[in-house]
Structure 1
Amino acid sequence: MQYSSQEACGLWSSGGVIGRCHNSTKGPTVERSKIVSKFPSTILGILGVTVWLTVTFSGLAHTKETELLSVGVRGGLNSDTLGIPPSEKEDFEQYDVFAVVGSPWSWEFSSGWDIRFRLNLAAGALRAAGETGFIGEVSPGLAFTQTNWRLTFDIGGGGAYLSREKYGRQDIGGPVQIVAHGGITYHLPWNLSLGWRFHHISDAALYGSNNRGVDLHLYELSYRF
């Protein structure tokens, strides 16, 4: 006797086994729409602020070239007390190389403040419980630079790809993750910069209600072009 996929799912669940059934023709579409519906509010907020800056401070806007601003290395670990609950089940570390690309959209103020829309790119390793996986990230953001103080404050949010989904006792959920960060950078002489950022990784409930993420404190050294 043959059963349709929906009938088979019904028989399977009625037998006392709880599982996930996928319709081969509709499953990918459902997953894609689910991911789209979870489009990070952080990114929408950044884009909204960019539009607001464009309209409000149109007289201060400057069109710059798209350019590579800096490259560097970064590393750090999670904290049980300085993170977003629930805390991690394992001790995580992240190490990566990164690049920051400046967009044409920027605003300069007479007070010495400069605001610029940037793209943050990173590739590296996420490690916990003796297991290591690849992590790649793409995240747009806004940078607020005070030239007189040699400081840059930046925020951003975007997406990440993880080659490993489970580290010891913690299941991150899936390969596609949402990332967000806030940080500060001090610009040294010799085109060097030192920075710190709070870095959040989670699936934003893409793979279910259990969306325990990873919060890291990352320290970076970069070279400015």
Structure 2
Amino acid sequence: GLPPTEKEDFQQYDVFATMQLPWIFGDAPSPKNLSLQLMGSAGALRSNGETGFITTLTTGLAYHNPEWRILLDMGIGVGLISQYRFGRQDIGGPFQFIAHGGAGVELVKKTVVGWRFHHMSDATIYGSSRGVDLHMLELRYVF
């Protein structure tokens, strides 16, 4: 998590899958394009010695430029968490809204290393609770 907005420090570990949707913006034959994608994840959210299950489903935009070996993406969606009280921090409830953005570099063919900013919040539907902001490192293999 990102202090000082959080009362506790958070770590998230997950496995995710990304599916490119059939809509591509730009020249279809070109390897450079802006596309729609669907992402899902399952993992663990940990803080203050406590661990909860988290799963997310988001949709978003992705840009890939193989000449520069970069990938950029951002998305919004929903998440479910099994535990929403960690020490002094109450995240609100099991249903969460998710927003994320990331950048990656293709080190070798089909292997990407990247960084992602991940925001999770209940948008005050459970009252005046705090969300969680995370910086995440990612390792991706493209099938």
The answer, yes or no, to whether TM exceeds 0.5 is yes
**Partner residue of 1:198?**
117
**d(CA) in 1 for partners of 2:109, 2:57:** 28
Is 1:116 aligned to residue 35 of structure 2?
Answer: yes
2:72 is the counterpart of 1:153: yes
Alpha-carbon separation, structure 1, partners of 2:129 and 2:117: 18
Write the distance in 2 (CA, Å) between the matches of 1:197 and 1:136: 16
Closer, same or farther: CA 153–79 of 1 in aligned 2, 3 Å: same
Instruction: Specify the SS of the correspondent of 1:188.
Output: strand
**Bigger shift: residues 156-165 or 183-192:** 183-192
Name the structure 1 match of 2:22.
Answer: 104
Instruction: State the superposition RMSD in angstroms.
Output: 1.6
Q: What letter is aligned with 2:3?
A: D
Shift of 1:112: 5.9
What residue in structure 1 maps to residue 95 of structure 2? Answer: 176
Aligned length: 142
Determine if the alignment matches structure 1 residue 217 to structure 2 residue 135: yes
Instruction: State the identity %.
Output: 49
Aligned counterpart, 1:130: 49
Matches within 5 A, 1:1-225: 78-80=1-3, 87-109=5-27, 113-208=32-127, 210-225=128-143
Higher helix content, 1 or 2: 1
Q: Which runs of 5+ in 2 are unaligned?
A: none
Query: Which digits, 9 at most, give the CA deviation of each residue in 1:168-209, with x for residues without a partner?
Result: 00011100000100110111223211011000011011112x
- Based on CA coordinates, which of the two structures has the bigger radius of gyration? 1
Q: 2: distance between equivalents of 1:111 and 1:137? A: 31
TM-score w.r.t. length of structure 2: 0.93
Q: Given residue 191 of structure 1, which amino acid in structure 2 is its aligned partner?
A: K
Partner Cα separation in structure 1 for residue 115 and residue 26 of structure 2: 24
Measured at CA, do residues 165 and 119 of structure 1 come closer, stay the same or move farther in structure 2, by a change above 3 Å?
Answer: same
Q: Return the alpha-carbon distance in structure 2 between the equivalents of residues 108 and 149 of structure 1.
A: 17
In structure 2, C-alpha distance between the alignment counterparts of 1:163 and 1:79, rounded to whole Å = 21
1:148 is displaced (CA, Å) by: 1.4
Letter in 2 for 1:215: D
Query: Which TM-score applies when normalising by structure 1?
Result: 0.60
Could you list the runs of 5+ residues in structure 1 that have no partner in the other structure?
Answer: 1-77, 82-86
